Amino acid sequence: MTVVPAGRRNEERSPAMTNTRDDAAGEGNPLLATWDAPFGAPPFAAISVADFKPAFETALQRHRDELAVIAGDPAAPDFGNTILAMERAGGDLQRVAAVFFNLAGTDTNDEIQAIEREIGPVLARHSAAIYQDQGLFRRIDALFRKADTLDLDAEQARVLERYHTAFVRNGAALTPQARERVGKIGEELAALGIKFSQNVLADEKAYALVLDGEADLAGLPEPLRAAAAHAAEERGLAGKHVITLARSSIEPFLQFSSRRDLREAAFKAWIARGESGGETDNRSIIAETLRLRAERARLQGFESFAHFRLDDSMAGSPEAALDLLTTVWAPARRRALAEEAGLHALSEAEGNNYELAPWDWRYYAEKKRAAEYDLDETALKPYLQLDKMIEAAFDTANRLFGVSFREVHDVPVYHPDVRAWEVTDRDGAHLGLFLGDYFARPSKRSGAWMSGFRPQQKIDGEQRPIVVNVLNVSKTAGDAPTLLSFTDANTIFHEFGHALHGLLSDVTFPMISGTSVSRDFVEFPSQLYEHWLMRPEVLSRYAVHYETGAPMPADLLERMIAARNVNQGFETVEYVSSALLDLELHMLDPDADFDIGAFEKRRLADLGMPEGIVMRHRPPHFAHIFSGGGYSAAYYSYMWSEVLDADGFRAFEEAGDPFDRETAKRLYACVYSAGGRQEPAEAYRAFRGRDPIADALLEKRGLAGA
């Protein structure tokens, strides 16, 4: 076994993205031209990296000019000349930014990363200039104060409220000095977030655990061997096997490798991302980020950044979020400690005399699952093919909402691995374009997410969305089907739930389109969608053997469903510890000597973190909260939304049919198509007929009574 840098063979741009271009500026720039590809997709083959900077410069200036006209309009403000005009402005910038940042996450290189570092603060400065523009704010504030007299429909009133909230939360109502400082903080945070993300990606790319010979492969099932062989070939190491730091590679390695020394080496590299002590070390970035966020919150009159962030959320306050997390923590910790004792006993029965370490947990948990349920991952994987799970997600959407998916091959894509489908409604009308980018590669950041190249809106005619799901599944060589872990299959359903939230959107205004909802509601449609993967009605049709085509045997299906809450104490503790630390970090006012490592160690000790478990996301690579502000002080959102999804799926169970037509119709109308036209709590009540019942969460996780 050796550890070597992960080569650069896969970093070249795909044929769809070239590196140089002679006509990068002016009318020849394809990013600024009319996109006449099928479905209005971006013309990736015509775009070069050199196009981005001039396109950003032109689009930024056009947006500034458009906003100056609105702010300087001598006519009295009304909805049309102010709010509607702002919704129409910035189209070029939205298109350029959507293409650029999607590529920066999925198929980056040194040139793109350099532009990202440069453009991030520029865009933050541009955003601050908009939301702190006093001419714009006076018009919006005047409209907001007399909203009840404007004869607005419900959607218009909601958009006006969201604009006013956005301006206030970005400092428009502060003194000139405070506004200037808030803007400067935004620029600094943008630069820090980009650097954090690029550091994590660099650490992930720089590591490869090379397995050389059968002794290094001990315990590994054939699908994992095949994926590791393909990863080795990509790095010029044909004949060997490579485990990467992609979750779909390292987690199954930790489950199955009987080489404890290799599990330890891989695990330690995995949890040390962003903590190398060198140029890619993120600890000083974390400290500075926390200080800047705390300063911003104080400038805007809040006790902490967590209080500022959650003021505009379903939870309303960090105390409410903490209350949920601590309620779950106690039974989860009790269950995890019981699981730990059982795993230790299993290890001792094998003749081992060591304490259970974090790199042992998944290995013995897999053994325990096999022993208690006669079930292991190797038995499941042959029935969980990537293509079939994609079909299952599509068919579920068809049965719930009447939508269909037709793969198209004449649409430009940004990488050869990307696939495209046209989405139509039950009458055959076009709903959107869905892209799937499923495989891990060195040029892609880790994780899984949904994003978009174009939002749905209809302020000037119908504009249908272009949505993308990005995963990091380990690719197999040649034509062999890609086989998934159950976790990977679940991730496909989760991210596709987000995709449907964007694709089915049916609102007028971009401000409230698709997933433009509060962070602790946005996970509800995606987590709810996961429930259908576990339904026998779905698995019996799509969980078929990759060689024989035979459906998963009924007894195996029953055992898999029965075992769904095995190791749930571990999984809940792993998540909740990350969410608690996120909130508590953002309730601090850190000093100049803040040490994130010491804080992490001290706080986990106070919580009584089981020795065999490490946080799902340690701070140095916690991209959710430090690579931009998306989930900062909001990682709790997954569990907040899980209360909704656990209770929400009960509506189908109460109807006696997981595809009940009337329940699905309410879900479509109130959630998937509704965007942000209502407050999230109102949207949930409209779907469910009442507020959620929190006990559904503990029942779903198998922690009731723990």
Write the CB contacts of 493 (distance below 8 Å, at least 6 apart in sequence): 389, 392, 393, 396, 529, 530, 532, 533
C-alpha 257/C-alpha 533 separation (Å) is: 28
Closest of 601, 519, 621 to residue 275, by C-alpha: 621
The dihedral formed by the CA atoms of 366, 367, 370 and 376, expressed in degrees to the nearest 10: 40
Give me the sheet containing 404-408, strands edge to edge. 404-408, 419-424, 430-439, 466-473, 449-454
User: What is the 3-class SS of 274-301, one letter each residue?
Assistant: CCCCCCCCCHHHHHHHHHHHHHHHHHCC
Amino acid sitting at position 152? L
C-alpha 630/C-alpha 374 separation (Å) is: 41
- Catalytic position from the list 495, 523, 530, 600: 495
Helix (H) or strand (E) run with residue 211 in it: strand 209-211
Write the CB contacts of 78 (distance below 8 Å, at least 6 apart in sequence): 143, 150
Closest of 524, 530, 458, 425 to residue 88, by C-alpha: 458
C-beta of residue 394 within 8 angstroms of C-beta of residue 423: no
Helix (H) or strand (E) run with residue 243 in it: strand 241-243
- Hey, is 458 helix, strand or coil? coil
**Phi, psi dihedral angles at 433 (to 5 degrees):** -115, 130
> Annotated catalytic, 111?
no
The dihedral formed by the CA atoms of 636, 638, 643 and 647, expressed in degrees to the nearest 10: 170
Q: CA torsion sign, 652 to 654 to 660 to 661?
A: negative
* Residue 72, number of CB atoms within 10 A of its CB: 9
Amino acid sitting at position 643? V
Q: Which residues are catalytic?
A: 495
